[in-house]
Structure 1
Amino acid sequence: MQVLKMGWQTLWYGRTIRTQLLVAIGAINLCALAIAGIVTIYNARHATKVEVSASMELAKQFVQATIRSVEPDGRYGLLSQKVTQLSERLQLAQLRHVRIYMANAAGDLTPMTGGAPAPLPSHDEEAAPPAWFEALVTPEIETSALNVIQTDPVSGHLMVTERPEQAGKVWDLGTVVIQGAPEDEIAEVWEDVSSLFLLWLLLDAAMLLVFYILLGRMLGPLASIARGMSQLEDGQYATRLPRPRVVELAALADRFNFLAETLGRARAENARLYEQLITVQEDERREVASELHDEASPCLFGITANAFSIEQLAGKRKDKRTSEIKSHVSEILKITEHLKAMNRVLLKKLRPIALGKIPIADAITDLVNELAQRFPDVEIDHAINVDARSYGEKIDLALYRCVQEGVTNAIRHGRAELVQVILTEKDGGPSRGGKDLPRTAQLTISDDGQGISADTPVGFGMTVMRERIHALGGNCAVQTAPSQGTTLKVLVPLQVSHGSAQQNQPEIEMHQ
């Protein structure tokens, strides 16, 4: 039962509001049609019974008068001998809703007004009511028998009594049987009902069509608002919605446009602050790297030189402490070499000195090789397919930092065993507006790690990396799933001015 309920909820709530409203309106119309059908059948059944009963009463009076008019001189014979004469007179009256029969001595019935109902002029065989409709509308109608008795053969008086028909019983002069025939009345009711049903069907279809168009025009702006929210989520804060004519939807569009404008201003301010932060950070890194290169490196070199001198002087001594001094000198040299290696790593992390002096492809290749040496348990593959020597300091540094941050995150946080780094160039081609899109540099870093869960907060390094790319007018996206690895995609336009990411965003089409 729970499964059926969940399946029904999924089927219902998985549809659009327009579909739900149209289904609800159609269900209400079907219920109204069912109630109207029940009331119509009840009224038609009652009206048919009243009509047939009135016709039978009239037929009884007419049959009595017709029988008395057959022999006005009072000499009555068996009515079965005057069937033709009675039939002609009864048919002149064109009685409706009744059938009249004469019972002969054997009890067989001879029709006097036609054994089958005469079709109405407006009906044809195709318009005949179906059997189920006749079964619902046909009322219970009793058959009447008029028994003709000659009370005094001399005087010629006769009496017509109404008694229940008895099989095989013919009273004296004869028995006339009057039977109700509601077929033509039912046919008229069916013609009216079918005409009304056809009219209802046409009107209902027209109403649903009008509702479909009206709901589409009313709910169309909601879909446009949803698309606009999606574009805001993607960072397209220049998105604007046209103002629809519906008052409530116009208010929503106004609030959306105000929100987009506010978010755009906030995003621009944040981008400016992030750019300043990145600039200050790079300046600090450059200064620290310069101090490490200019101060720490000579000091380490001096320590190494003095250690070698001490080792040579100790070699000239022949006392028992010479070996002890050499052992300490060897330790000093090892520590100094370790500090030199750390200093080189810090220099590359703080400010890659070779960046700008060698091609960007060689710089990133050296970075990948260095990371592979630092993490020997991880396989790092790379494919650098670029023709340009340099894209400029900002773009080169941004791509370098993205590789540095992306590979480090994949190894440390994703616990990946395989990391792939791909850097390519791609032609922009024409856009929808007819303008040529700029050539782009595409960087993809994918791994086979444990992925990123949805509740994991975005780290500072990833935030700074995104802001670097956004400041260049590019896009940075992360595709991940638990236990399915992570893919970092960076797209940087190679001919774009600062802040272009926030410009020339298309206006959303909004149906009214």
Structure 2
Amino acid sequence: MLARFSLKTRINLVIAAILLVITLIGSGLVIRHVRESVAGETRSALQLAREMVEASHLQGPLPDEQAAAWRAMLERLGQLRHVRLFILRDGTPLPPSPSRPPPDVPVWFARLVEPPPAILEQAIPTRQGGVLRVRLVADPADEIAEAWEETQLFLGLILFLAGGCFLAVYQVLGRAFQPVEAVLTGLVALEREAYDHRLPDFPQPEWNRIARAFNHCAEVLQQTRHDNRSLTRQLLKVEEEERRALARELHDELGQTLSGIKMLAQSIRNNPQAEAAERAAGLIAAQVDHLFALLRAMIHRLRPLMLDDLGLCAALDALTDGWRQKHAGIAIDLRCDPAVERLAAEHQIHVYRIVQEALTNAFRHARPRQIAIRLEPRQDWLRIEIRDDGAGAEPSRLQQRGYGLRGMRERAESLGGRFQVTTAPGAGFTLTILLPFEEEEAHDHPCHAGG
């Protein structure tokens, strides 16, 4: 049932129940003490009256002239608090005096603290041989009235303390749980992808730590969404640029080459002389070779076929050889552990693209003299380290270096890996990538590593 209420309401209800139980226990103890006190007082008063009557009885049979005075004394004794005295003449009981109800005392309280009835009877002989019978009846009405006044004060004090304690706890809990609504509002904002929402500072240190963690999470999500959108725009841009470049090459290179081949073939048909035909055939062969080179370059841009045919190490070896040919003055040292060939095929292309992008960044931005590439399995991870001795950069300015590093990070993290950049001005770049080493069930490619 309590599950329907909020945590604050449930805590308040539990505290109220505890205070109520404490109040009831305290009230029960007070009632018990009052009942014992009233019973003790009435017993004491009844015993005192009995001793007074017995003291008169010990004097012996009363003469007639003293009996009347003694009866008057007993009647005055009957007006004592807590005791009622009745005289029985000639064996006939007098009508008992009506018990005085406690004034302004609730009936329930009187019933709870009223002691059991206490009645004593004494027979006083007279000299004429008669018997004067005296009945003593306990009457706790006055004591109950006094006890009610004291109990009212004590119960009022208990209720005041319990109520004050509950109000104090209610106020404290209200202030303690006041940030809950702000946190819930913030979570709803995150659910709606409003990552610019921030929580304010709270006076409570615990909630303040939660607010700082929430704001940090919101900042990370906001930055991640911004990076993802930037990457998406960049990927779309790169995709369109690649399509434009392929379309231009197909149009300019392939179209013009095919047109030239067609014209040469037409010239052979129009001029079937052996010398002219031989010269045209040579030009056709040259054009076809150019087409083959163009197609190989375009296919390599789309996907390196060597990766599927010869394996990852050979593909990386060919990649670094291509960069060496373009930049003869820069040393590239590639060391690829043969165990890397056991990596799952769908992950090998990602490793290839990471190394390709790292080399592109190094030659584009770092101006290095040496580049070292290491690939080696370590337990359940594939460790990739790419280090150059280029210009380096301030770590705080890495976000401004374009989409290369960001793309490599996204690629590594999408595979469940880790990406780390170590750099400083003049100290070059060191990229450390750890990828889960998921082995291929059957993979049989030779490994070539060059230095």
TM-score (norm 2): 0.49
Q: Which has the higher contact order (CA 8 A, sep 6+)?
A: 1
Larger Rg: 2
Could you say which structure has the higher helix fraction?
Answer: 2
Alignment TM-score, normalising by the size of structure 1: 0.44
